[in-house]
A and B are shown apart, each in its own frame.
Chain A
Amino acid sequence: MSVPLTLLGLLEREPSHGYDLKRDYDTFFGRGKPLPYGQVYATLGRLARDGKVVPGEAEPGDGPERKRYVITEAGVTEFEHWLAEPVAPEPTLQSVLFTKVVLALLLGRDAEAYLDTQRAAHLQRMRELTELRRTGPLVDALLADHGLFHLEADLRWIDLTTARLDALAAEVRA
């Protein structure tokens, strides 16, 4: 998740205070992982340095940094470019799982037991997400779905690998 670009996107909506940005970010994207204030201001600072946002005048008030940030033409261009660009499909999990399976087979360990444990862990997570999508609002449900589909894809890979473990072992040990 790219925090600078997300903040740019939120600013594209309307000029905002750092505090509003953090609140909106947490609401929509922060699922259980709120954005620290420090990171918000550091990011905004970097964006200002690169000329993608312009900080407004400090407004009178109690708290620190009551500045309203405004997005620049360069910022809009970069954000729109990013939005239009497809995300590179990343086979992220495969590397770790795959490495473990191959290593287990190489070392003569019980790869099937490992895959079963992984499978159970995946399903446990899927159960939690299923419960979340059942009880939470639609935004949560859609997020949970996203996670579920990813986990399901992993599970399919686990199933397939389990079924072809013997063949894989033969090839690895050869």
Chain B
Amino acid sequence: MTPLIEARDVELSFGETPALRGASLAAEAGEVLAVMGASGSGKSTLLHCLAGILVPDAGEVLFEGRRIDNLDENRRSALRRDSFGFVFQFGQLVPELTAEENIALPLLLSGVRRSAALADARPWFARLGLDGLERRRSGELSGGQAQRVALARGLVTRPRVLFADEPTGALDSLTGEQVMALMVAAARDQGTTVVLVTHEPRVAAYADREAIVRDGRARSLSTGYAPGGPAAERVAS
């Protein structure tokens, strides 16, 4: 089975500093993959390469079997807009917009009419326990609420892949667990693949499988992973 998204021997340097030295990583469709590693190991850089934000110096990045690292900036932007979603640590919401407008923003970017985009955004408030916060600005939301709004924004376009970079990094552990549970559940609901960068084992434990990045190289640590099968089934059996 072809992986949905894959990095092959990716190398990338920032100036003189090598960040990735031949990292390979693949995620299957529907899988939740955790990418772990210490600070500065290159895990965020690898995520940026997979998402087409950074272009590797060498190696290939494939999405649905096609190379995306050699596309131009506009094509990669369109790809990110249409097929990828993002959740980062903090500061992602546009402060001027209300919560529902922030969620609807990716749809507006794709040219959806405002009323339709807002209609698509609204169900997320119930799904993520954000009822009544539709008109709040980011400054009026708690950290966990803001992160859930960001999560809804990452998923509202039903992306093939959701890239999450330390999505709970700024949250306390209870709130972080809530956000992770909601993220994994929502992603599984709509069959979105999740590439999750984290250094916390408890966050990584939400994934089906993990890879570890060390010194710019990625290594898969899969133990008995069955593609497409949520971990719950294996526990139950």
Contacts and interface: CB of A to CB of B under 8 A. Distances in A.
Chains A and B directly touch (beta carbon < 8 Å): yes
B221 interface: yes
A131 B231 contact: yes
A51 to B, nearest CB: 45
Given A122-B201, A151-B201, A155-B201, A131 B221 contact: no
Contacts of A116: 212, 219, 221
Contact of B210 (A123, A130, A134, A135): A123
B66 interface: no
Contact of A126 (B205, B219, B222): B205
B210 A163 contact: no
A121 B210 CA distance: 11
A122 B181 CA distance: 20
A129 B208 CA distance: 13
A119 B214 CA distance: 14
Contacts of B235: 127-128, 131-132
Interface string B221-237: 11110000001101100
A124 interface: yes
Given A123-B201, A124-B224, A152-B201, A131 B232 contact: yes
B205 A129 contact: yes
Interface in A151-174: 151-152, 155-156, 159, 163
Nearest to B232: A131
A120 interface: yes
Contact of B221 (A120, A134, A159): A120
Given A135-B232, A152-B202, A155-B201, A124 B223 contact: yes
A116 B201 CA distance: 13
B38 interface: yes
A45 to B, nearest CB: 38
A5 B140 CA distance: 51
B124 interface: no
A36 B221 CA distance: 39
B88 interface: no
A131 B180 CA distance: 12
Contacts of A156: 201
Contacts of B232: 131, 134-135
A172 to B, nearest CB: 21
A151 B235 CA distance: 17
Given A128-B231, A131-B231, A123 B204 contact: yes
A54 interface: no
Nearest to B206: A130
A101 B223 CA distance: 21
Contact of B181 (A124, A127, A134): A134
Nearest to A149: B202
A105 interface: no
Given A119-B212, A126-B201, A131-B231, 8 more contacts: A124-B223, A126-B204, A129-B205, A130-B231, A131-B232, A134-B232, A149-B202, A156-B201
Interface of B: 38, 181, 200-202, 204-208, 210, 212, 219, 221-224, 231-232, 234-235
Interface of A: 116, 119-124, 126-132, 134-135, 148-149, 151-152, 155-156, 159, 163
14 contacts: A116-B219, A116-B221, A120-B210, A121-B223, A123-B201, A123-B204, A124-B224, A126-B204, A127-B206, A129-B205, A131-B231, A131-B235, A134-B181, A149-B202
